[in-house]
Structure 1
Amino acid sequence: MLKIAGAGTFALALATMPIAAVAQTNKAETLYETLLLPEVITLMREEGLTYGSDLADDFFPGRTIADWDGVVNVIYNADKMEGEIKDAFSAALEGDDVDSMLAFFQSELGQEIVQLEISARRALKDEQVEQLAEENAAIAMQDETDRFLQVEEFVDVNNVIESNVVGALNSNFAFYTGLLDGGAFGDDLTEEQILNDVWNQEPDIRQNTTEWAFSFLLLAYQPLNDSDLRQYIEFSKTDAGQELNGALFEAFDGMLERISRDLGLATSKYMGQQEL
């Protein structure tokens, strides 16, 4: 239910902003919806809940933590995630050419691309689909098919591998920092040692990221013809395309680092406890 006080406060805040800033904020919110980011966040939350169960298996083997699922649910709170992304995305787009971003993604092709990406991410939650996508991607990569080369160009233009590797390393560091701050390691481990350990994971993270990225993108863009994918690549090369790509990584990486640290803190709380 909408709270009148909250609505009034928001209206007052907008009234004190310059007209240009209000317009930019409105455009950023429109772009947020156009890119179907609420659906992306929903999928990420579902993936996060599964990851939370995997963490319990890794850190509490053979134990049942009665309220662990509840803790993970709180960390992956949908409203909090959406609020974080909205604020960070809008801030990252300040001064950027949002009009060009909207022009592309509100087009018929732009909307098709967004829907295809959502559908592919949802489909990959099925282990059989994921395995088949990985096998098809490996074949396309080995044969250097025309579609693989197009997707490879898209990956390079958007810095997909590097950005995701950096994001994963930062998230891992945040998780172990949470463990450290929660007292999981006592005095046996320092932040510098954690940093070295996380950095040693880089080769495996890079390989997994590369495999996942090509599996996902080749699956998602399979229905597009070469001309459509070329248009997307050319948009990605523009200033607006690069700005949007940077804003998305900045917004999501910040949220994922917060979630990872919270998971580390929560995990540390239960590591030394007996089964409930």
Structure 2
Amino acid sequence: MTALRRFGVSLAVFLCVSVAALNATPSGEALARVLRIDDLAQALHHEGIDHAQNLDVEMLDGRGGAHWSRQAARIYEVDRIAGAIRGVLSDGLAEDEATQTIAFFDSPLGQEILSLEIAARISMRDPDVEAAARAIHDGLKGTGDPRLALVTRFVAVNDLVERNVAGAMSASYQFLRGLSDGGATGLDDAAILAEVWAEEPATRDETERWLFAYLLMAYRPLTDDELQAYITFSESPAGQALNAALFDGFDLLYRGISYELGLSLAGALTASDI
């Protein structure tokens, strides 16, 4: 059973969780503005709704109705997502790291990167677009393509595969816990862990394939020099600090979301059995 779709795959997409308000520091406010957090939260909200609709079809036989739609909208509330991101930006970076991050992303190149990342994320919700992006990646594998080499470097610098796989497995565990606590399964903790680990090879393969398809599509308009500039920022102490903080927060946020989703789905499943 696949618990959640793969995690986000770029600095513009890594969520984070601290429910603290953004009024803590001016740098937190500036980071939220520069990183276009409201736009990102909207995109992730719609992704969550898509995922909930898929669960309705796959596990509720399409009978979730208005109640399930309301539950999904509550779980993936835009303000919840945006507030979580704002909190970690306010609390998770030192002042000099925040200053350097703002300097990069408030530049024309930084804003273009964010626009491309968010637009590609939205486009990948279309199955045909996703299939086309995957086909491009498949065609480049093993060719020595220079753009693929740069994207591979970007993935390595940010440890995207390992971090996303770990996050996906954590979210899957919480989703199954929610199902179990809601009475939809008889799985104990050991059985849940066994199921999550049994899915690890498939999770890793899917994560890697989606990551490269997405990144190749998102960064296609960038020149090699522009993409290299992004890699250079990612390698810097500020880039590494931002990446680590957002990944930690993203994992925590989606653990909560996944558990609530499983618990709500269990309620819908048990209600349909009455």
Identify the residue that residue 176 of structure 2 maps to in structure 1.
Answer: 176
User: How much is the aligned-residue C-alpha RMSD, in angstroms?
Assistant: 2.1
> Where do residues 83-94 of structure 1 align in structure 2 (5 Å cutoff)?
83-94=83-94
Deviations, residues 95-141 of structure 1 (Å, cap 9, x unaligned): 66111111111111111111111111112122221111110011112
Note the C-alpha offset of 1:81. Answer: 1.9
Note the C-alpha offset of 1:142. Answer: 2.8
Note the C-alpha offset of 1:63. Answer: 3.6
* Unaligned segments of structure 2, at least 5 residues: 1-19
Identify the residue that residue 123 of structure 1 maps to in structure 2.
Answer: 123
Report the secondary structure of 1:67's partner residue: helix
C-alpha contact (below 8 Å) 1:35/1:114 kept by paired residues: yes
Deviations, residues 68-97 of structure 1 (Å, cap 9, x unaligned): 111111111111222222213322224661
Note the C-alpha offset of 1:274. Answer: 3.0
Deviations, residues 34-70 of structure 1 (Å, cap 9, x unaligned): 1112211111110111111111122212645441111
- For 2:104 and 2:66, how far apart are their aligned partners in 1? 48
Counting aligned pairs with the same residue, the percent is 37
C-alpha contact (below 8 Å) 1:65/1:275 kept by paired residues: no
Note the C-alpha offset of 1:251. Answer: 2.2
> Where do residues 34-45 of structure 1 align in structure 2 (5 Å cutoff)?
34-45=34-45
C-alpha contact (below 8 Å) 1:92/1:251 kept by paired residues: no
Identify the residue that residue 153 of structure 1 maps to in structure 2.
Answer: 153
Report the secondary structure of 1:272's partner residue: helix
* Change over 3 Å in CA distance of 1:147–1:79 after alignment to 2: same
1:99 aligned onto 2:99: yes
C-alpha contact (below 8 Å) 1:29/1:90 kept by paired residues: yes
Note the C-alpha offset of 1:215. Answer: 0.6
Identify the residue that residue 133 of structure 1 maps to in structure 2.
Answer: 133
C-alpha contact (below 8 Å) 1:177/1:264 kept by paired residues: yes
Note the C-alpha offset of 1:267. Answer: 0.9
Report the secondary structure of 2:195's partner residue: helix
- For 2:61 and 2:123, how far apart are their aligned partners in 1? 29
Q: Following superposition, which runs of at least 4 residues in structure 1 exceed 3 angstroms of deviation?
A: 62-66
* Change over 3 Å in CA distance of 1:232–1:64 after alignment to 2: closer
- For 1:247 and 1:161, how far apart are their aligned partners in 2? 16
Tell me the TM-score normalized by structure 2. 0.87
- For 1:157 and 1:221, how far apart are their aligned partners in 2? 16
Note the C-alpha offset of 1:174. Answer: 0.8
Identify the residue that residue 262 of structure 2 maps to in structure 1.
Answer: 264
Report the secondary structure of 1:131's partner residue: helix
- Farther off after superposition, 108-117 or 78-87: 78-87
* Change over 3 Å in CA distance of 1:116–1:63 after alignment to 2: closer
- Work out which of the residue numbers 223, 226, 229 in structure 2 matches 1:225: 223
> Where do residues 1-276 of structure 1 align in structure 2 (5 Å cutoff)?
25-61=25-61, 63-94=63-94, 97-185=97-185, 188-274=186-272
* Change over 3 Å in CA distance of 1:247–1:100 after alignment to 2: same
Amino acid at match of 1:220: A
Note the C-alpha offset of 1:161. Answer: 0.8
- Farther off after superposition, 230-239 or 86-95: 86-95
* Change over 3 Å in CA distance of 1:43–1:227 after alignment to 2: same
- Farther off after superposition, 116-125 or 165-174: 116-125
* Unaligned segments of structure 1, at least 5 residues: 1-9, 15-21
- For 2:270 and 2:218, how far apart are their aligned partners in 1? 43
